[in-house]
Amino acid sequence: MIAYILCLTLFCVGLYCILRKRNIIKIIVGIIIAEYAVNLFFILVGYRWEGRSPIFSSDTPIVDMVDALPQAVVLTSIVIGLATTALLVALAMRIYGKYGTFDITKIRELKG
Amino acid sequence: MTPQAHIVPLFIILPLAGAFLTSLAGKRFKGLPDLLGVASTLGCLVFSLVAVRLVRLAGVLVYSVGAWRPPVGIALVLDGLASFMLVTVNLVACLVFVFSIDYMKRFTSKWKFTTLFLLMLAGMNGVIVTGDLFNLFVFLEIASVASYALVAFGTGKQELEAAFKYAVMGTVASLFVLLGIVFLYSFTSTLNMADMARVLAVKGPSNIMLLVSVLFLMGFGLKAALVPFHAWLPDAHPSAPAPISAMLSGVLIKSLGVYALCRIFYNVIGMTPQVSSLLLFLGALSMVIGVFLAIGQWDLKRLLAYHSISQIGYVVLGLGLATPLGVLGGLFHLFNHSIFKSLLFLNSGSLEYATGTRDLRKMGGLMHRMPVTGATNLVASMSIAGIPPFNGFWSKLLIILAAVQAGRFGYAFWAVLASLLTLASFTKVMKYAFFGPLRQEGKGVVEVPFMMRCAMVLLALICVAGGALLVPGIREVFLIRATDAVLQGLRYGTEVFRSVV
């Protein structure tokens, strides 16, 4: 149970970081933290303590196996996260080049 | 797997192959990006029309990727709703790409634009045809990441700011969607949407489904720009190049937002009265707030972006009514809005191309200098405002009638009011941009190149003829199939599994 609560805390830390921080880089870090919390939660959903890897053979009974699907799916999700992060960092670099600052309160060309 | 089902993966393969080849060789051969772009979007359009016919003849088509049967492997499903959405998306994509051939000449590295455009199209087609929930998330991210990059394509100050805002909010939305998928997986132990519908129909209602519904409403609602989650849209859509604004407003918010909401809430989770009334409320809110914010705008593209929020409200209102007439009206308005809103954004692109400004106060009297743009803009304005012979009138009428029929008189009133305010704001556009005296700056303005005119005229013709889709005989093939697919609810699961064998 404690693992799930810690996972939720991690997600909330990430969301807080996205919503409250002013520095673009810190917002990107917040997104990464929240993303990892979701991935971790997906792994926890399929995990069994004291479980074993899901290899089928005729002489062992099918009990206490870790669900392998979330792990495969989370790998894909991590790769997607990498692409998003790379794009965000590239945008942050270009923004710094144009505005000379990472502070989002000073990056305000658009309004209305 | 029937032999007809082999058409289904083509909607993803064609644009992906186009994007790959463009990124490989587009830099070296100048004409290649245009050729590949037109070939793959036109190919998708032709195949989507074939798909409508196939669905009529053979019913639901299911393609099992890698020959793994559905509950285990990824399934691609083509039913009435999917074929309807495919026609809408690929029709708009094809015409918008034709427009962008001439328009994008002003930008450097056009091959990058074509690559991203085709990747976005592949993502949208993937979201529409997939029958697997995690696969839907993957395609959603492909389309979203491509669209973040396309919004920043101009790499000016405003474009970068808008793209960053859009990317952060879009990523958060995707996280909520993924979290919803995790909860659904832990509850049903499957990722296949048809299997999930069967399991959920057996298990009955539970508290965890409430949480999942809220997560999906937040995630897909943000992608669809419903009102409490709309803040990114008025920045992102005007900042992108005009063809991309047309794609984003025309089809991206619909295929990633409205279609996914509709598919999951009707066919996988099952529509409940609570979700229905929430959708009605959010729809009406977007409809009214969007149009109020639009009236005061002077930036033409920003005005159009606020109208997108308002019109998406109509679509969601129709779908939220959950009656046959309401769903029919909602889906028909979805089709019509993608046609006239992409036409309006292309018109704004032409105006910017010819005059170099987006500010309505600096235009004026352009009707004689740009007759094609002016005429098509008039047609699109009358469509969006709901003037009788044009397509927007019929779908709005259906939605309002459905609201009255369901006894929701308040919502019908708000729909009529929003329609009147839309008319007012487009009267303003026509008055300031096209009518009145020609200004000094407008003396040298000439009409835009042939390809751009061609795309605009074709879209305007569809606006004029769009009402014909309601004629009995045509209606059954296209709109009624999609409505039936939505309204079949959880029977979606059994339908899909029946056509696997």
Distance CA B114, CA B127 (A): 20
Contact A14, A31 (CB under 8 A): yes
Query: Could you tell me which residues come within 8 angstroms of residue B423 by beta carbon, excluding any fewer than 6 positions away?
Result: B385, B386, B387
Yes or no, beta carbons of B161 and A35 under 8 Å apart: no
Chain A partners of B155 at a C-beta cutoff of 8 Å? 94
Distance CA B257, CA B323 (A): 20
Go through B262-300 and write b for each residue having 16 or more CB atoms within 10 A of its CB, e for each that does not.
bbbbbbbbbbeeebbebbbebbbbbbbbbbebbeebebb
Cα dihedral B192, B194, B196, B201, rounded to 10, equals -170
Kindly give the interhelix angle for B391-405 and B409-433, rounded to the nearest 10 degrees.
160
Query: Could you tell me which residues come within 8 angstroms of residue B391 by beta carbon, excluding any fewer than 6 positions away?
Result: B336, B339, B340, B383, B462, B463, B464, B465, B466, B467, B469
Yes or no, beta carbons of B297 and A112 under 8 Å apart: yes
Return the domain boundaries, chain B: 273-470
Reading chain A (112 residues) residue by residue, the pLDDT tens digits are 888 999 999 999 999 999 999 999 999 999 999 999 999 999 998 888 877 887 877 777 777 788 888 999 999 999 999 999 999 999 999 999 998 889 888 887 776 5
Of B137, B155, B168, the CB nearest to A18: B168
Residue listed under structure tokens 């190049």? B241
Distance CA B34, CA B97 (A): 8
In three-state secondary structure terms, B62 is strand
Best probe of the A interface among B168, B179, B187, B191, by most A CBs < 10 A, is: B168
Of B145, B158, B168, the CB nearest to A27: B168
Interface pTM, i.e. ipTM: 0.94
Chain A partners of B168 at a C-beta cutoff of 8 Å? 18, 27, 31, 88
Structural domain A2-49+64-99, CATH architecture: Orthogonal Bundle (1.10)
Best probe of the A interface among B72, B132, B178, B239, by most A CBs < 10 A, is: B178
Type and span of the H or E element at B78? strand B75-78
Distance CA B305, CA B249 (A): 7
Return the domain boundaries, chain A: 2-49+64-99
| Of B333, B138, B445, residue with least CA distance to A81 | B138
Kindly give the interhelix angle for B324-355 and B300-321, rounded to the nearest 10 degrees.
170
Render B438-493 in DSSP notation, one character per residue.
Answer: PPGGGGG--PPPHHHHHHHHHHHHHHHHGGGGGSTTHHIIIIIHHHHHHHTTTHHH
Reading chain B (501 residues) residue by residue, the pLDDT tens digits are 788 888 999 999 999 999 999 999 888 888 898 999 999 999 999 999 999 999 988 888 999 988 888 788 899 999 999 999 999 999 999 999 999 998 888 887 889 999 999 999 999 999 999 999 999 999 999 999 999 999 999 888 889 999 999 999 999 999 999 999 999 999 998 999 999 999 998 887 788 889 999 999 999 999 999 988 888 898 898 889 999 999 999 899 999 999 999 999 999 988 888 889 999 999 999 999 999 999 888 899 999 999 999 999 999 999 999 899 999 999 999 999 999 999 999 999 999 888 888 888 888 788 888 889 999 999 999 999 988 889 999 999 999 999 999 988 999 999 999 999 999 999 988 888 888 787 777 777 888 888 899 999 999 999 998 888 888 888 888 888 899 989 988 888 888 888 887
Yes or no, beta carbons of B160 and A94 under 8 Å apart: yes
